[in-house]
């Protein structure tokens, strides 16, 4: 996959996710500006090593991290649950822009998941009506046996700021994995780093594809002198998506490449059911 189509509607994004487990979506300008503001504020905080003061920004709530952490030698993390009253914040400004961004991305992913469910229902209605229950594949349960899509409580959905400082190119930044949530939004930057495992149409071989390299060749990528985050997000399928659909959609396998041009700040939001 050398090119990555950019969608401007969530209906098209949903179709791409059904086909390939991810989509590149151009967010509205208001959301793009919020992304840029959040990126700038997070850079001020994460661009420096752990300090005694930053310990006040870390809290464990019911076994879950809230705030600042160093999960590996390659990166620093600030995990925010903006709807939680127990969330620690370094500054009021960071709290405000993080809350605004989480609200925007939550709404976008909820709308995208509804589009996915509508497309799934349409496919179900087009199946052969004469097929009996005994003839159906039990490994693909009927919609009535699956959790129904409802408004996902934002208190279970993390907004993550990952800062890959790029101090040691031999250190693994982020190994390949899938996320457990329903849908995941990753804000794309001008430092190519996100890689997605895709299947080549012609050879059927599995290859790693970097959407940020692809979008640099399109006129929809808007880089400004004061920011390194674009107006594009990558929406990826998580493990929970197949639990609410009548069609199995593979979770998107992704990683962060080890050789980065420079330090990279990645923002992600995970729409996550508590189960």
Q: Higher model confidence: residue 122 or residue 110?
A: 110
Give CA–CA dist 103/30, Å, rounded. 12
Helix ranges restricted to H, 62-195:
92-125
Flag whether pLDDT at 106 surpasses 60: yes
The string of pLDDT tens digits covering residues 80-104 is 999 999 999 999 999 999 999 999 9
Which of these, 196, 208, 207, 189, lies nearest to 261 by C-alpha position?
189
Average pLDDT of the segment spanning 8-24: 95
**53-81 burial, b if ≥16 CB within 10 A, otherwise e?**
ebeebbeeeeeebbbbbeeeebbbbbbbb
- Residue owning tokens 């190994």: 175
pLDDT band at 148 (very low <50, low <70, confident <90, very high): low
Pairing of strands 229-237, 22-26: antiparallel
How many Cα neighbours within 13 Å face the side chain of 141? Answer: 10
Residue 135: what pLDDT? Answer: 42
Flag whether pLDDT at 52 surpasses 80: no
Residue 173: partners with Cβ closer than 8 Å, 6 or more residues away: 74, 75, 164, 193, 255, 256, 257, 258, 260
Residue 256: what pLDDT? Answer: 96
Flag whether pLDDT at 176 surpasses 80: yes
The average confidence (pLDDT) of the chain is 85
The string of pLDDT tens digits covering residues 64-78 is 999 999 999 999 999
Flag whether pLDDT at 26 surpasses 80: yes
Give CA–CA dist 89/188, Å, rounded. 24
The string of pLDDT tens digits covering residues 224-270 is 545 468 899 999 999 999 988 878 899 999 999 988 988 999 999 99
Which of these, 25, 28, 31, lies nearest to 12 by C-alpha position?
25
Flag whether pLDDT at 145 surpasses 60: no
Average pLDDT of the segment spanning 114-140: 57
Question: Residue 151 gets which letter from DSSP?
Answer: P
Which of these, 247, 55, 228, lies nearest to 140 by C-alpha position?
247
Residue 4: what pLDDT? Answer: 73
Q: 1-5, 39-43, 123-127, 263-267 — which is least confidently predicted?
A: 123-127
């Amino acid at each position: 996959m050398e090119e990555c189509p950019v969608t401007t509607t969530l209906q098209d994004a949903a179709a791409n996710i059904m086909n390939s487990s991810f989509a590149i979506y151009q967010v509205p300008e208001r959301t793009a500006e919020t992304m840029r503001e959040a990126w700038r504020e997070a850079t001020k905080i994460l661009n420096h090593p752990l300090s005694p003061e930053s310990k006040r920004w870390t809290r464990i709530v019911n076994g879950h991290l809230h705030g600042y952490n160093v999960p590996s030698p390659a990166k620093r993390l600030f995990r925010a649950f903006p709807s939680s009253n127990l969330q620690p914040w370094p500054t009021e400004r960071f709290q405000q822009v993080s809350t605004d961004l989480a609200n925007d991305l939550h709404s976008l992913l909820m709308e995208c998941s509804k589009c996915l469910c509508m497309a799934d229902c349409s496919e179900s209605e087009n199946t052969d009506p004469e097929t009996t229950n005994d003839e159906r594949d039990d490994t693909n349960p009927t919609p009535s046996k699956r959790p129904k899509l409802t408004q996902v409580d934002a208190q279970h959905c993390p907004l993550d700021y990952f800062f890959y400082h790029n101090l040691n190119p031999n250190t693994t930044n982020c190994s390949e994995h899938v996320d457990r949530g329903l849908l995941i939004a990753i804000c794309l930057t001008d430092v190519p780093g996100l890689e997605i495992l895709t299947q080549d149409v012609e050879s059927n071989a599995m290859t790693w594809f970097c959407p940020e390299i692809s979008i640099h060749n399109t006129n929809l990528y808007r880089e400004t002198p004061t920011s390194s985050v674009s107006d594009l997000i990558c929406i990826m399928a998580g493990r929970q998506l197949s639990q609410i659909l009548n069609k199995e959609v593979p979770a998107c396998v992704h990683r962060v490449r080890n050789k980065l041009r420079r330090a990279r700040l990645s923002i992600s939001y995970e729409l996550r059911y508590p189960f």
